[in-house]
Chains A and B, each alone.
Chain A
Amino acid sequence: MIPDFKQAIPVDQIGVEERVARFRTRSIKKESKLFALKLALQMVDLTTLEGMDSPGKVRQLCDKAMYPYEADPDIPKVAAICVYPNRVRLAAGVLKGSGIHVASVATSFPSGMGTLESRIDEVKYAVDEGADEIDMVISRWAFLKGEYDYVFDEIAAIKEACGPAHLKVILETGELETYENVRKASDIAIYAGADFIKTSTGKISPAATMPVTLVMLYAIRDYYLKTGSKIGMKPAGGIRDAKTALHYLVMVKETLGADWLTPDLFRFGASSLANDLLMQIIKQKTGHYQSPDYFSIG
């Protein structure tokens, strides 16, 4: 059942990049565009992961998540907010009853260089505080060394520690160097029990790119065809404008099908993307180009 991870699955680099170039040429207009923009907004994990995240900043972000743009009641809420473990209790309290998930990064984010025990404790702490989604990082040092069993076991152990919470596994593709490695890390995460696979922490560059996301989508597709289970995808970092977000949606639809066009199976990890989506939605509705001056900071 579990494949031999030492066996590389070849990825056609040119093929992936040319396929992505095609997605970038798609143009979505009018009602379809409005639909896609709203869908993308519902998929946003509104994220703040800074050492300077004060309680006030997190509270403000929660308000933004619940009421992105009050002038228009037709605007949907975002999927989740994503914070550090010590801000989870606050966020969970503010968001209670709103239906918005609370995601927390854990496991010595962003490097993952803690002991396994401390990383598991961090996950348990975040879940106890009220997080219903955990974003973990894999040990890239072990992966790049070829210790795939180590990575597999750590993901499985953390999945167990999550209990009822959903687990998103961050591969940090910017450090994995090749598409083959991205594919391999995706497979390891999926077989070890990830509910979602996620591209990046957002702390190093390059963060999410479309080719890398496509390789991960292929891993999800192959797993689905083999087992019938649907794994979610979350590109994170570097997606700042609505146009790029729509290209991602096109890519998901044409790779995995419309089933994945739901916040349950696809998310954007982003902070500034939400405002651009809002501005484009209002632009579609009014016909006037918008200015960030009239949208809340978030």
Chain B
Amino acid sequence: MSNRLNVLKTCKLYIGGKFSRSESEHYFQALDKKQKPLANLCRASRKDLRNAIQAARKAQADWAGRTAYNRGQILYRMAEMMEGRRDQFIAELERAASSKRRAENEVDLAIDRLVHYAGWTDKYPALFSSVNPVASPHFNFSIPEPTGVVGIVAPDDHALAGLVSLIAPVIAGGNSCVVLSSEKLGSIACTLAEVIHSSDVPGGVVNVLTGFRDELVPHLSSHMDVNAVLCAADDPGQKKTIQENAHLNVKRVHFYDGTDWMKEGAQSPYYIMDFQEIKTTWHPVGT
């Protein structure tokens, strides 16, 4: 019995609330820190990306229309579900790239970060809205509204903390997102997708793809139905591609590379505001 073969997990893509294999049927193998096979990952094609963006678009309006309180409940539920899988995350992180101690730190931080943003969902609009003084007899309000569909290019280091730190503020603000996970640590993203799937997040609000970023970033950044791109990967070529393609439909672009997601301060409502648009409305006084 001792010489049985390990069954390697094939991590699937998470698109529109369903786990599916790549339409291309291509796979690649992720290695652990000892260069041993860790998992088989789907190599997402541009059609998978297109499907994910369609799913994100479809889900966005309903998600933004939920009450802020409900979005907070769901983010908190994500934290609860992660807590339940704490040991699994620690084991996976440790095996892939980390020491036990650092892995524990990272998982705890990721869970706490979700709780942090869960608390912000019904507070940031009040904090960042304003009633503006105007000369005419009108009320004049400015309020933040979600940008829409956000493409997220995940960082390679601190796969779990980084991923949660990017996804949480984006969805807390009512956006939906398509995540291109780290190539090396795609299996962590896949496990996170399983957590998201089991925690009341409506299908399509978070979509997770594994694959080669060089193949996917050009299509993500040129897709006309993506409203913003958040890139936390430190790759000058990909950053240039994103900036060049963003002009097509004037995407909002933010680069977060160089941020240490393990720091306490790498969380704030300003991360939510990075993917909000300020809308100003006028209302006549007295009617």
Contacts and interface: CB of A to CB of B under 8 A. Distances in A.
A17 B224 CA distance: 36
Contact of B50 (A287, A289, A292, A294): A289
Contacts of B225: 289-293
12 contacts: A288-B224, A289-B53, A289-B219, A289-B224, A289-B225, A290-B224, A291-B223, A291-B224, A291-B225, A291-B249, A293-B225, A294-B224
Interface string A265-297: 000000000000000000000011111111000
Interface in B217-232: 219, 222-225
B248 interface: yes
A126 to B, nearest CB: 38
Nearest to B223: A289
B229 to A, nearest CB: 14
A158 B50 CA distance: 47
A293 B225 CA distance: 8
Contacts of B249: 291, 293-294
Contacts of B224: 288-291, 293-294
Given A289-B224, A292-B225, 19 more contacts: A287-B222, A288-B223, A288-B224, A288-B248, A289-B50, A289-B53, A289-B219, A289-B223, A289-B225, A290-B224, A290-B225, A291-B223, A291-B224, A291-B225, A291-B249, A293-B224, A293-B249, A294-B224, A294-B249
Nearest to B221: A288
A281 to B, nearest CB: 14
A289 B223 CA distance: 5
A218 B53 CA distance: 39
9 smallest A-B Cβ distances: which pairs? A291-B225, A291-B224, A289-B223, A288-B222, A290-B224, A289-B50, A288-B224, A288-B248, A289-B224
Contacts of A290: 224-225
Contacts of A288: 222-224, 248
B145 to A, nearest CB: 15
A289 B245 CA distance: 12
Which one of A289, A292, A294 has the highest number of Cβ atoms from chain B below 10 Å of its Cβ? A289
Interface string A230-264: 00000000000000000000000000000000000
A263 B219 CA distance: 34
Contacts of A294: 224, 249
A267 B50 CA distance: 28
Interface string B140-168: 00000000000000000000000000000
A104 B225 CA distance: 35
A291 B225 CA distance: 5
A294 B227 CA distance: 13
Contacts of B223: 288-289, 291
A294 B226 CA distance: 12
Nearest to B149: A291
A287 to B, nearest CB: 7
